[in-house]
Amino acid sequence: MGSIFQFKQFQVDQKDCPMRINTDGVILGAFASAKNPQQILDIGTGTGVIALMLAQRFEEAKVVAVEIDKLAAQTAQENFSVSPFAKRLSLVNSDIFLWNCTESFDLIVSNPPFYINSLHNPDERKKTAKHTDTTFFEGLMLFVSQRLNREGKLQIIVPVELKEFLVGSALRNELHLLEELKIHSFDDAEAIRLVLTFGKQEGADKATERFVIYKERAEHSDAYRELLKPFFLAF
């Protein structure tokens, strides 16, 4: 597979990025939403694909992307620079917890490392991209509580087994679960991922939806095709 992935309105070079474009990332980039967001933050941008998708969708928004890995950050910056949205995209090469951020955001998104307490990858850069521990999510929720606007949203994609911990961590930082999107590989399969939406204002009822990726092996569902149609050349 080549390093350049061509989308309808932009391209993404994946060179020097430990985490390449994946299904989790493009689903989050196509699904994440807030009411007329003007300031968007992508935490752990990697190639920059989620930030680019959000810049395409929200034409008035400024999108800030943070990436801890130096080489990945350089690649993301190059991807931003050659995109039609370059003037609205900015890259910060920093650990999110060491970044002296003074801005507030209407929408914060993250496709974070999530293999907690599992066998760590011997490749140090891939380890950073794929693995974390509970302190990361505690710190993330604290950061979000400080930088999210009152009516803003955090949307994060994680494995199903992390839900209980994340909801608890969010509540400790006065963030409430508002929506839950359950992602299934197939219609008759258990959910494999969740897109969890948190906010500062508690909703009356938590909305729960389901999303199926494949109708059968090697054939994407109509819902997946419709969601990614604005981005993928194949659709």
Q: Which helix (H) or strand (E) holds 11?
A: strand 11-13
Residues 6+ apart with CB under 8 A from 134: 116, 165, 169
Q: Which residues pair with 110 in a beta bridge?
A: 43, 156
Residues 6+ apart with CB under 8 A from 220: 213, 214
* pTM for the structure as a whole: 0.91
Q: What is the pLDDT of residues 91-120, one digit of tens each?
A: 999 999 999 999 999 999 999 876 444 434
Give CA–CA dist 51/42, Å, rounded.
Answer: 6
> Which pLDDT band holds residue 132 (cuts at 50, 70, 90)?
low
In the chain the first and final C-alpha atoms are separated, in Å, by: 19
pLDDT at residue 81 tops 90 = yes
Q: Tell me, what's the pLDDT at 119?
A: 39
Mean pLDDT of the region 20-49: 96
Q: Tell me, what's the pLDDT at 2?
A: 60
Right CATH for 4-155+163-177 from 3.40.50.150, 3.90.400.10, 1.20.1740.10, 3.40.50.300: 3.40.50.150
